Amino acid sequence: MYKGTTMTDFSRDEIKMLASHQEGPYVSLYMPIRRETVAPKQDTIRLKELVQNAKEQILAMETDKDTAAAILAPAVDLLSNESFWQQTREGLALFLAPDLFRCYDDDSIAVEFDETVSFGPQFYFKPLLPVLTGDGPFYILALKQEHFGLLSATRDTVRPINLNGSPHNIEEALGEEVPDTQIQGRAMNVSGGEQTGVFGGYDPGKKDKDRVVRYCRVVEKEVHKVLAGKTAPLILAGLEYLHPIYREVNTYPYLLDEGIERNVEHMPAEELKNEAWKIVEPYFQRERAGAIERYHNFSNTQQISNKLADILAAAHFGRVATLFIERGKQQFGSFDPNTLHLESFKEQHPGSADLYDQAATQTILNGGIVYVLTPEEMPDPESGIAAIFRY
């Protein structure tokens, strides 16, 4: 039985789960979907070609045909899944190994990447790392007294989070009847269709503050179920009077001070995301700029390095606090953390790994932060990789 055959969000926890899988070999497939130039019916043809490419790589490593077929079986099954291909997507990332299959689509991987097939001793994560830093994710809590909605967003995408079991309105939450004269909230579209709006619009004179506070506590409890353990910023959206009330009861440490103070009743989700991005983009930029400044502050010390061998060793032993890798740059080879032996290749060999990706994966597994930057943004322009060490 395959683990995680349904869609899920790409996250640090997902990387940890995938990287902890003990049995290889490992296949990573990346397929961008260009709706403006590629007809949907051709998506299955392209995936079939990627699967065939992966099969050839697996067999080149003298893996037997039955094992190769078993690893790729979930991707082959997708080819005949008509309901899967009826859904509009802009990209897919598939990770396959014995008894494991993970599939991420553009709702959770809202970044551009090239078509890629990777087969080797580990999964290939680097194309997805910008999802974790720089462009998201972030959350939007759209708050109205009669209802609320929680959305997950990146710079380019927004989607509602299905809050299963949450109260639909203040009457359900508090067990008190709401007068018929009050405006009722509308449920957010969470069925996979286009999001047409979120919530907002309430006259504060219709309910006393105590009732609103109690309702906000219920909302906060439901939000906590989703965001517990997360570190992505949260932006509050709703009428101005609701902001200080909700902030009184909030326990999520990454709720930003600035919010969207307006009636969001008829505001399309895409517009709400754009307004939230204006708030959160400087937050991401400050985090990245601060990390680069820290790197420069440690110049001429042992606290930093741009040497791949040093960084790989430090990453495996949990010493890398912050890693910078150049977008699109690769270095193939092998690294043994036990002997610290590093072998680099100019081209990808069967069974070799992208060592930049390996350093990034180990950094994330050990709680570090990874920034994928353009060549101009790199703190050391002479190297495609750089790191700040914890000690």
Domain extents for the chain? 12-124, 138-282, 298-389
Residue 2 has pLDDT above 50, yes or no: no
pTM: 0.67
- For position 322, what pLDDT does the model report? 95
- For position 344, what pLDDT does the model report? 86
Using only C-alpha atoms, what is the Rg of the chain?
A: 23
How far is CA 306 from each of CA 72, 229, 231, 311, rounded to the nearest angstrom? 37, 32, 28, 7
Lowest average pLDDT, out of 66-70, 135-139, 259-263, goes to 135-139
Which residues touch 76 (CB under 8 Å, ≥6 apart)?
51
- For position 54, what pLDDT does the model report? 92
- For position 351, what pLDDT does the model report? 66
pLDDT digits (tens, 9 = 90+) for 29-52: 999 876 555 555 688 889 999 999
Mean predicted lDDT score pLDDT of the chain = 82
Question: Distance between CA atoms of 181 and 202, rounded to whole angstroms?
Answer: 12
* Fold match flag (138-282 vs 298-389): no
Lowest average pLDDT, out of 11-25, 27-41, 85-99, 232-246, goes to 27-41
Burial 230-250 (b: 16+ CB within 10 A, else e): bebbbbbbbbeebbebbeeeb
Q: How confident is the model at residue 177 (pLDDT cuts 50, 70, 90)?
A: very low
C-beta neighbour count of 190 within 10 angstroms: 14
Residue 380 has pLDDT above 70, yes or no: yes
Strand extents, DSSP E, 43-174: 91-97, 100-105, 116-120, 138-144, 147-153, 158-160
The helix (H) or strand (E) run that includes residue 214 is helix 209-227
CATH superfamily of this structure's domain 298-389: Ribosomal protein L30/S12 (3.30.1330.30)
The architecture (CATH level 2) of 12-124 comes to 2-Layer Sandwich (3.30)
- For position 153, what pLDDT does the model report? 84
- For position 65, what pLDDT does the model report? 92
The architecture (CATH level 2) of 138-282 comes to 2-Layer Sandwich (3.30)
More confident residue, 179 or 131: 131
pLDDT digits (tens, 9 = 90+) for 141-169: 998 766 788 998 877 778 788 777 666 55
Residue 309 has pLDDT above 90, yes or no: yes
